[in-house]
Amino acid sequence: MTTSFAGTARRAGSLLAIAGATFLGAQTAAPPPLDRPVPGVDLTDMDKTAAACQNFFQYAVGGWTKKYPIPPEYPAWGTFQELAEKNRDALRKILERSARNSAAKPGPEEPAKPGSEEHAKPGSEEQKIGDFYASCMDETAIESRGLKPLAPELDRIAKIANLKDLQTEVARLQVAGVNALFQFGSEQDRKKSTDVIATAVQGGLGLPDRDYYTKTDDASKKIREQYLAHVTKVFQLAGDDAARAAANARTVMAIETGLAEASMTNVEQRDPDATYNRMEPPALKSLTPSFSWTAYFHDIEAPPALSALNVQQPKFFQALDKQLTTVPLAKWKTYLRWQLVATASPALSSQFVNEDFDFNQRILQGTEKIQPRWKRCVRATDGQLGFALGKIYVAEYFPPEAKQRADRMVRNLIAALRDDLATLPWMGPETRKAALAKLDAFNPKIGYPDKWRDYSTLQIDRGPYVVNAMRATRFEWARDLAKVGKPVDRTDWGMTPPAVNAYYNPLLNEIVFPAGILQPPFFNKNADDAVNYGGMGAVIGHEMTHGFDDQGRKFDAQGNLKNWWTDQDLRNYQERATCVEKQFEGYKFEGDQHLNGKLVLGESIADLGGLSIAYRAYQKSLEGKSKPAPTDGLTDDQRFFINWARVWAANDRPEFARLIVNTNPHPLDRFRAIGAPSNMPEFARAFSCKPGETMVRAERCQIW
């Protein structure tokens, strides 16, 4: 996962690399049932013609990758998506039932027919998720409305007469979820983790990352040409003639390029020290003399306690301030119009939906076909009302015993990491003491929150879908901003319960495992311990290790940004981390393109630590027991490592692979499967690998 800094302005971290809506859904060839009575390792998923010591990914999951090619609706297909499909079906059943129940009741003289389902109480969570889903599924109404639901906001943009009006409209759009100029939200104060402050973050781009505007290679130039064509087409759909649409697209590209050139790179943003710049009102005024933060706070209805602000990228805001006065007002209106329509496109009529898909998924990710509408609507409902939907999902699909089993495994992994920290030869006593204190302060969250989110003030009906979506976004904005100036809510979650994912948050020093991931192949009640430790055990270890990766190590036990390392121990750590960086920098894909070792460093450290700790925890669980007998010709150690690779079974399209490598801190799955075990002598012993073979690294990386 990426280390998560809490708040709207920074997405919660995750175990896998998610790129938009296209990761979730069905496949063309149905997977075997996820509750199948296979004792952990399905031999048909393997390719035993491959040599485990030379091509472990092919050996462990070559059968799976052959059986399950990428369906046309997706840019990639793997284990996470295989499991997410099961959850998608479960959520669909809940939502279709809720949509029926939230439909109009019979009148007082018309009693419900025998056998009919109960109607949802108006204002209830079931009514809201049912109506949200129903409004999303009502294609006839969406097609008939076209761009009309956006007319009031488009009129406001057209009436902007001065810089003050422009700033007011930017605030309105941001509250509605539009990526206008920059991002804003709440976060824990990194140097006083009991407090919540506001944070401002670079943003305002239409392409995935600043490098898409700045790179000069042919592939980047082509994407910019395709982006210009896409923006032009959207302006035409919004009513512009061809010439005006093309001119407007060039305006958008010029403004966004200026924002991109002032933005931090993905690697630079990984430094929590560099992105912590707390400023009081006088400093804010000096930073952006043309942008009134006082007026902005009023426009977004910020709480009175909002005074200090973490400006994560001061240079970006300095450059933005200059653009506000040098770019003509008419061009800013064009830019805002684009950002509004582009953000809303997936919730508008089919011509907007299809154009949005064509660029953002077909061109950028290689997806061949748009997902069925019900899949998109399930995902949207989970995204906007996920804790109301998740409450029902947990009640129906996540029994208490599953939570209890996961709790036990987490405790075992924490014990294994404690043993490791206590004996690390390169860590001195002062740093060791602080590391153990941080581990002891870990807060595991399993399955679902203890306190559910309150949606009572959110209005949802069967009116325009795009209006419902914006209402839900405004509700979440207000909920997030209300945290500022209040004590940190340590019960809050950054992922909904059905998510097939997990994360670590350094500010809360917590590891979080939603109910959606606590299922096969990650965790299987019918599998032996070797398989479960190689799957879910390594996932748990991965999240725990994030507390000590290149970002997490900078936060103490209470979640404060503080250096608790001695100089010598820090040098020892950085030397070992550099080994991991070089290892992943050496992996190539699509010919001679390399991974970015600095960008994927945190995830790769966590994979190495997680798998190593999980192996030790499994070995500890065998103390006092006889060694398990081989199953299907595979030893328990072999099954442990094979299920690790099975977690990362995946096929991906070239376009998607390039997108992930350019923008995401997670390595491609094929490299995650082999990266950590190739550093472990335990793997080499399990498969009798010899020095010089691919899975036995000459320069072994070891941290934990």
pLDDT computed for residue 4 by the predictor: 43
**Residue with the larger pLDDT of the pair 21 and 393:** 393
pLDDT computed for residue 26 by the predictor: 27
Mean pLDDT of 544-553: 93
Look at residues 325, 347, 369 and tell me which one is the last residue of a structural domain.
347
Co-location of 219 and 279 in the same domain? yes
Identify whether 379 is part of a domain. Answer: no
Co-location of 154 and 227 in the same domain? yes
Q: Are strands 510-514 and 503-505 parallel, antiparallel or unpaired?
A: antiparallel
Rounded mean pLDDT of the chain? 91
Distances (CA, A) of 82 to 77, 503, 664: 7, 20, 21
Mean pLDDT of 325-330: 97
End-to-end Cα distance, the chain: 18
Kindly report, residue by residue over 676-694, the tens digit of the pLDDT. 999 999 999 999 999 999 9
Ranges of H-type helices in 546-689:
567-585, 601-621, 636-647, 654-663, 669-675, 681-687
Question: pLDDT band for position 27 (50/70/90)?
Answer: very low
CATH number at residue 216: 1.10.1380.10
Residue 536 CA to residue 236 CA, distance in Å, equals 49
State the amino acid at position 590 in one-letter form: E
Kindly state the percentage of the chain with pLDDT values over 90: 85
Kindly state the percentage of the chain with pLDDT values over 70: 92
User: How far from the centroid of its chain's Cα atoms is residue 430's Cα?
Assistant: 35
pLDDT computed for residue 374 by the predictor: 98
pLDDT computed for residue 403 by the predictor: 87
Identify whether 267 is part of a domain. Answer: yes
State the amino acid at position 521 in one-letter form: P
pLDDT computed for residue 23 by the predictor: 23
Look at residues 347, 366, 388 and tell me which one is the last residue of a structural domain.
347
pLDDT computed for residue 590 by the predictor: 85
Q: Is residue 543 among the annotated active site residues? A: yes
Identify whether 457 is part of a domain. Answer: no
Co-location of 258 and 187 in the same domain? yes
Q: Is residue 85 among the annotated active site residues? A: no
Residue 571 CA to residue 242 CA, distance in Å, equals 59
Co-location of 58 and 187 in the same domain? no
Residue 422 CA to residue 436 CA, distance in Å, equals 8
Q: Most distant CA pair in the chain: distance in Å?
A: 83
The residue with tokens 């030869």 is: 425
Residue 658 CA to residue 444 CA, distance in Å, equals 34
> In a 3-state reduction of DSSP, which class is residue 182?
strand
pTM score above 0.85: yes
Co-location of 310 and 402 in the same domain? no
Identify whether 5 is part of a domain. Answer: no
CATH number at residue 611: 3.40.390.10
pLDDT computed for residue 39 by the predictor: 54
Q: Which of the residues 85, 543, 550, 652 is marked catalytic?
A: 543
Co-location of 435 and 545 in the same domain? yes
**Per-residue pLDDT for 30 more than 50?**
no
Look at residues 309, 332, 347 and tell me which one is the last residue of a structural domain.
347
pLDDT computed for residue 15 by the predictor: 53
**Domain count along the chain:** 2
Question: pLDDT band for position 109 (50/70/90)?
Answer: very low
pLDDT computed for residue 32 by the predictor: 40
Residue 650 dihedral angles phi and psi, to the nearest 5°: -170, 150
Identify whether 364 is part of a domain. Answer: no
Question: How many C-beta neighbours within 10 Å does residue 199 have?
Answer: 28
Domain of residue 439: give its range. 44-69+398-449+493-687
Kindly report, residue by residue over 366-390, the tens digit of the pLDDT. 999 999 999 999 999 999 999 999 9
Identify whether 2 is part of a domain. Answer: no
Co-location of 341 and 403 in the same domain? no
**Per-residue pLDDT for 527 more than 90?**
no
Identify whether 3 is part of a domain. Answer: no
The HSE-up count of residue 44 (CA atoms within 13 Å, CB side) is 5
Kindly report, residue by residue over 279-318, the tens digit of the pLDDT. 998 999 999 999 999 999 999 999 998 888 999 999 999 9
**Per-residue pLDDT for 673 more than 90?**
yes
Q: Crossing angle, helix 242-261 and helix 329-344, to 10 degrees?
A: 90
> In a 3-state reduction of DSSP, which class is residue 382?
helix
**Per-residue pLDDT for 474 more than 70?**
yes
Co-location of 313 and 416 in the same domain? no
**Partners of 533 in beta bridges:** none
Identify whether 547 is part of a domain. Answer: yes
